[in-house]
Structure formats: C-alpha cells, structure tokens
Amino acid sequence: MKKLLWILKSVIILLLLVMISGCWDQMEVDRKAYVVGIGLDKGKKEKINVTYLISNPEYASQQGGNTNEPATEIITFEANDLITSRNIANSVIAKEISYDMLSVIIVSKQLAKDKNFIRWMYDSTKDREIKRNTAFLVTKEKASSFIEQNEPKLETRPHKYFTLIFEHAGETGLIPRSDLMRYFRITEADGDLFLAALGTNQQTNQERSNGHLEAGEFKIKGKTNKTNLMGSAVFKEGRMIGELSGEETRLSLLLNDTVKSPNYTTTFQDPFNKDYDITAKIIKNKRNNVSMQQMNGKTILNIKVPLTLEVLTDHSMVNYAKNKEKRNQLKRYFTTKITEKLNKLVIKTQKDFKGQPFGWSLQGRKYFLTVDEYEKYDWMKSYPNMEVNMSVEIRFGEFGRQTDLPKIKQVRD
C-alpha cells in the first residue's frame, strides 16, 4: 500500500513537470517571428495594407550572436484587420507570427485621416498580445515605404532603434509621448485632443525659420538614416485632423501636465543685439496652475506656467550674470516672447482644431461634482469659446558653466 502511494506520488510529480512547459502555450523563441513594427495603410475599399517589420533574433550586436542573415524582414499585404493578418502572413513567413515584441504601430497620414480609422485601431485592444504601451507613429508617406526606407546605421536591431529614438526625441520634446493607451484614453474621455508622433523619411525643400520645422524639413547631410521624427499629428475623436510643428509640439508639452515635461534648449533673438541669438534651456519642474471661472456666461481659463530658464550662451556677450538691470530686462523679454508663442498656439487650437491637446479638461473636472454635470458641460464643445489668460512666470537658473564673459572690446583691443 505504502509503495503504491509512493509510486502514485512520483507519477503526479512527473506529470507536474509536463505542465511547466506551459501546456498548449509553450513556445520556443526560434520558432517565432517577432513582429516589431506594424505599418498600416489604406487598402482597397474597407481593407488595409499591413506591413510587418519582423526582427531577426539571431542577429545581435554582441559577439557570438553574429549571423549572415539580415536584421529584419519586411512584408506588406492586404488584409481585413490586424488579427487575420497574422494568419495570412504565415503563407510567406515560415515561423509563427507573434506580437509579443511589438514596439511600434506606424500609420500613414492618409489612413489616419480616414473616417473609419478608429475601427482598425480597436483591433489592437482585441488582440491578446498587443499591449497598451505600444508606441504610435504617424508617417507623412505610406507606412510601408517608411518602414522599407528606414535604414538605421548604428542601431540596426529594429526594436532597439524604435525604443531609443522614441525615448530621446521625446526627451527633447520634438515629438509628444504617444502610445496606444493615451490614444484610447483621450479618445474615450472625449475632452482633449491626442497628439501622436509624426515622422517621415522624405526630405522636403521648404524653408522655414528655426524651430518651426516639421518632419522632413530638417536638412541633414552625410551618410545617415533618412528617417526623422518631428512634430505631431493631432487626433480628434480618434481621427487625425491636423499637424503641429516641432516647436508647437514643445510648447504644447509645456502646457500639458499629463506628460513628463521635456527639458530642452531653444534659441531666442537677443533683445540687445538683433544680429545674435540667445540659446536658452527651458526647464519645467513645477506643475501649471489651471483655474476655471464663469463670468457672464463665459468661461475664463487662467493658466499660470512656471518655467525655469537657463541662458546657456549669448553671442552678443552682454554678460548677464553681472548685470542685474539687463537680467531683468531679459526676463521681461522672455516672458512676453513665450507668452506670445503660447497664446498663438492656443488660438490655433481654438480656431483650427476646436479642441486642445493640453489635458486641461482634466483640471476642469475639478470644478464639477458629478460625471453627469461634467459630460453635460461638454468640454470639447465649450473650449473654442473660452477665454484663455496665459501668464508665464520665469525664474532664471544657471547662466552656463562659466558665468562670466570677457568684454568683447577688451579682447579686440
């Protein structure tokens, strides 16, 4: 009897070993094709063209993992949705398609502006492997050609490339933070506009003043990847309605407390010498103060934006560190300049987009006690008629590593 029990127990333990492999869900890395990026274009009728950017796990930048196979494989085909496309792709790709490593969904501008675009987006909430933190990118050209032309030189592994470029372009504020989660959250709450990163690898010949660049307008020479991410695509109710330039994206991030504010360097014309520019670093480490007021049936929004400014270089060599009077003058100049820019952006959003991408509806919610009241007020509809009072408060930070400059006249003596 005892022996029988012992045998029974060992059989059970052995059976448990089988379960460790995950039953039917066992997978082997080398039998899967990991899709890192999905490109979506408009197809015929109500179909879409799906492009898969498949990463090769055998390809590695470290020693020992080297292979003669290329880092990626790209296929494009027509499909009804993101879920059937997985099966269709297997008629070409030998390995099982997996979205486990999916890091970016790339959509062409043409499809994003389509009125049915949102229907395809919700496919991604149905699939079990697509996560909500997947990045979201809009391209000016077709997504398929964007993926094909994208040839990063130093970081050839595609998942790493997209993670890194989103991280660093995002840190400098040239592109907004855009992932599926924000897209769904903002679309469903229906109070704000969603900003998605905008990218292209076509160069345009348009000339613009510094900072107002959009993707493709930044001229680069040398041997490098043609892809550049700059500016943002504006989405209202899940559909793309416009674009913001790199500078406007940065400004919108200053007004937005729902994202981590970037610290970035930018240039202003020197108020003391029109020939030169001042390079300043704008740091935002305090939250904005947004308050709502009702007056004579009109809603007034008061927005206080606290900024810290660091003047990094001044080519006019005014020596601000030593001169209090000039420093104050400079502060006033910056305040009016930034306020002007912010106001211009607000007017653009009120007139062109009829909504705001700054997350202000969140602050506005505090003025309502119940969801019903808030929904009845309809923030999106009310916004274009609001009066927005912008006030910028600037504190000076450091004036570069070395604060003193020689007097230009003495040097030239």
Partner 1 sequence: MERSKGKIATREFIAIVILTIGAKMTDDTPAILYEKFSNAAWMAIIIIGIFSVIPIWLLINVFNTYKEKNLIEIVLYLLGKPFGYFVLFCLLVIGSVAITIDSSIYTDIVGTMYFTETPTIVLYAILMATCAFGAKRGLEQIGSFAWSILLWIKLSLFLALLLTFFQGKLDFIFPLFGRGVDEIMHGGISNLSICADFLFLTLIVPFAVNHAEFKKAIWISLCIVTVELAIALIAFVALFDYEPVKMLNYPFHEAIRYIRLEFLPNIEALFFPFWLLALFIRFSFYLYLIALLFGGLFKIKDFEYLIPSLATLFVLLGVIPENPTFSIFHFRDPFLKIVTPVFLLLPCLLWVMSKIKGDIKV
- Cβ-contact 198, 230 below 8 angstroms: yes
| Beta bridge mates, 108 | 139
Task: Looking at residues 5 to 44 of the shown chain, list those that interact with partner 1 (rule: CB under 8 A).
Answer: 19, 22-25
How many residues lie near partner 1 (CB under 8 A)? 29
Residue in 74, 75, 93, 189 binding partner 1, rule: CB under 8 A: 189
Rounded least distance, CB 264 to partner 1, Å: 22
Rounded least distance, CB 168 to partner 1, Å: 15
As a whole number of angstroms, the distance between CA 194 and CA 258 comes to 12
State the residue for tokens 């108020």.
271
CB-wise, 2 or 128, nearer to partner 1? 128
Q: With binding defined as CB under 8 A, does residue 68 bind partner 1?
A: no
Which run of H or of E encompasses 195?
Answer: strand 194-200
CB-wise, 376 or 401, nearer to partner 1? 376
Task: Looking at residues 70 to 129 of the shown chain, list those that interact with partner 1 (rule: CB under 8 A).
Answer: 125, 128
CB-wise, 19 or 154, nearer to partner 1? 19
CB-wise, 179 or 270, nearer to partner 1? 179
CB-wise, 120 or 360, nearer to partner 1? 360
CB-wise, 253 or 338, nearer to partner 1? 253
In this structure, which long-range contacts are made by residues 404-411, counting pairs with CB atoms below 8 Å and at least 24 apart in sequence? 404/319, 404/321, 404/322, 405/314, 405/317, 405/319, 406/317, 407/317, 407/319, 408/317
Q: Which stretch binds partner 1 (CB under 8 A): 43-51, 65-73, 181-189, 379-387?
A: 181-189
CB-wise, 276 or 374, nearer to partner 1? 374
CB-wise, 272 or 368, nearer to partner 1? 368
As a whole number of angstroms, the distance between CA 9 and CA 323 comes to 86
Considering only the C-alpha atoms of the chain, give the largest distance between any 2 of them, rounded to a whole number of Å: 108
As a whole number of angstroms, the distance between CA 395 and CA 18 comes to 64
As a whole number of angstroms, the distance between CA 292 and CA 379 comes to 12
Q: Is 55 helix (H, G, I), strand (E, B) or coil?
A: strand
Rounded least distance, CB 349 to partner 1, Å: 20
Rounded least distance, CB 53 to partner 1, Å: 18
Q: Which residue, 289, 250, 249, 284, is CA-closest to 266? A: 250
- Cβ-contact 386, 301 below 8 angstroms: yes
Rounded least distance, CB 407 to partner 1, Å: 48
Helix ranges (H only) for 142-293 are 143-149, 158-171, 180-189, 246-255
Q: Which residue, 98, 65, 113, 352, is CA-closest to 237? A: 113
Task: Looking at residues 297 to 356 of the shown chain, list those that interact with partner 1 (rule: CB under 8 A).
Answer: none
Rounded least distance, CB 380 to partner 1, Å: 13
Q: Which amino acid is residue 81, in one-letter code?
A: D
Residue in 47, 132, 322, 395 binding partner 1, rule: CB under 8 A: 132
CB-wise, 1 or 19, nearer to partner 1? 19
Q: Kindly provide the b/e burial profile for residues 2-21, where b requires at least 16 CB atoms within 10 angstroms of the residue's own CB.
A: eeeeeeeeeeeeeeeeeeee
Structure token digits, residue 274 = 């029109």
Q: Which stretch binds partner 1 (CB under 8 A): 43-51, 188-196, 241-249, 337-345?
A: 188-196
Task: Looking at residues 350 to 409 of the shown chain, list those that interact with partner 1 (rule: CB under 8 A).
Answer: 362-363, 365-366, 368-374
Task: Looking at residues 205 to 264 of the shown chain, list those that interact with partner 1 (rule: CB under 8 A).
Answer: 257-258
CB-wise, 20 or 220, nearer to partner 1? 20
Rounded least distance, CB 120 to partner 1, Å: 17
Residue 177's alpha-carbon distances to 265, 287, 371, 380, in angstroms, are 18, 18, 27, 21
Binding residues for partner 1 (CB under 8 A)? 19, 22-25, 125, 128, 131-133, 181, 184-185, 188-190, 257-258, 362-363, 365-366, 368-374
